[in-house]
Amino acid sequence: MTIHSLAMTDLGRITTDAPPAAWPEATPMHDSYGRRINYLRISLTDVCNLRCVYCMPENMQFRPRRELMTDDEIMTLVKVGASLGVTKIRLTGGEPTIRPRVVELIRRMAAVPGIKDLAMTTNALLLEEMAEDLAAAGLKRVNISIDTLDPEKFRRITRWGDIDDVWRGIRAAEAAGLLPIKLNCVVVRNFNDEDVVDLARLTLAHDWEVRYIEMMPFGEITDFQQSNVVSFRQMRDIVEAAFGPLEEAGYDFVDPSRPFRIPGARGTLGFISSVTEPFCQGCGRVRLTADGKLRLCLLRDDEVDLLTPLRSGATFEELRALMRDGAYHKPWGHGLDQGLIAQGRTMNQIGG
């Protein structure tokens, strides 16, 4: 049986009862390598209000609404995950803030027993008006995508974005207590690789983490992505050429970001080396795509269809079995060194 055939049909009806105060004690999800799976990243939509060059084609065609999970379907799968030991949820997209009723959806997620950490990755364009409501609903923190501080270059990378909107969103997130602020920068050769120094300088005055991310290959724009990777070592060399040797700032092997600090800085720098020095041994995350597929590795096409069984009337226990068995088949690593490239989706369709 392949991983793609794990989805079931013609199952019993799903329960709509409210969750218990605590889930019955059960063995948390683990994969076949013994890694505990406690982190679920959920793509709320494949739609975005930007078109970043490393994420999707400019003429991207989005999925019809009927193919995407409803709020109630998302909540059912959140409860399934929580009952299997998921404690951390990150909301992604597309751009998660453009999903209708996202504040109420977060409020519902925050009330699920066992969910201890609820975060979001966003481009921040709508945070100025939404940050307070998101925090009040139960969102704990945000990662904000910002690949350059140059307004014109930002417009080129995003195809039409205004960086002033991002700055207003960052300030609103800070004021709302969505802390710590983490800024994500995907570094693209000959595009924004020289901007890593300006971004690093932000940590001198701000208690933020600036995170440099190696560009990863996906779908239709794989050739562009693969030919423009800037490695962790190269990024670090660029920063150290400007500021001198970086200090290590503690490292947790389950965190993909390797933290460093410019001596005397308030904030930190994180390097995420997904391509050249992967951190698969500590990976405890799976992803739920906006169309209800459990994706076992960001850079692999292996997925388990949860939405079809859910819409066909699967019981809560049957969905638990599907998610648990799917997680068990999580691959050890992404396989880029073996030439395995995810072709089925672009980044916005997966959820970063």
Through-space distance between the first and last CA atoms of the chain, rounded to whole angstroms: 28
Residue 102 CA to residue 20 CA, distance in Å, equals 23
Mean pLDDT of 218-228: 51
Q: Say if strands 39-43 and 182-187 run parallel, antiparallel, or are unpaired.
A: unpaired
Mean pLDDT of 319-327: 96
pTM, two decimal places: 0.87
The CATH code of the domain at 3-350 is 3.20.20.70
Residue 161 CA to residue 150 CA, distance in Å, equals 12
How high is the pLDDT of residue 337? 60
- For residue 236 the two structure tokens come to 């670090």
Contacts 24+ apart (CB under 8 A), 64-68: 67/291, 68/290, 68/291, 68/292
The yes-or-no verdict on residue 105 having pLDDT over 70 is yes
Percent of the chain with pLDDT over 90: 66
Q: Which residues pair with 285 in a beta bridge?
A: 39
Secondary structure letter of residue 101 according to DSSP: T
> Which segments of 189-299 does DSSP mark as H helices, in order?
196-205, 222-227, 232-243
Q: Which positions ≥6 away from 239 have C-beta within 8 Å?
A: 196, 197, 200, 246, 262, 269
pLDDT band at residue 307 under the 50/70/90 scheme: very high
The yes-or-no verdict on residue 7 having pLDDT over 70 is no
Tell me the per-residue pLDDT of 131-156, one tens digit each, with 9 for 90 and over.
999 999 999 999 999 999 999 999 99
Residue 74 CA to residue 95 CA, distance in Å, equals 16
Whether the bond into 94 is cis, omega within 30 of 0: yes
Contact between 195 and 185 under an 8 Å Cβ cutoff? The reply is yes
DSSP codes, 307-343: HHHHHTT--HHHHHHHHHHHHHT--SS--GGGT--B-
How high is the pLDDT of residue 221? 43
Q: Where are the domains of the chain?
A: 3-350
The yes-or-no verdict on residue 40 having pLDDT over 70 is yes
Region of poorest pLDDT, from 61-75, 105-119, 158-172: 61-75
Residue 28 CA to residue 270 CA, distance in Å, equals 29
Contact between 58 and 51 under an 8 Å Cβ cutoff? The reply is yes
The neighbour count for residue 237, using CB atoms within 10 Å, is 10
Residue 191 CA to residue 155 CA, distance in Å, equals 12
The yes-or-no verdict on residue 17 having pLDDT over 50 is no
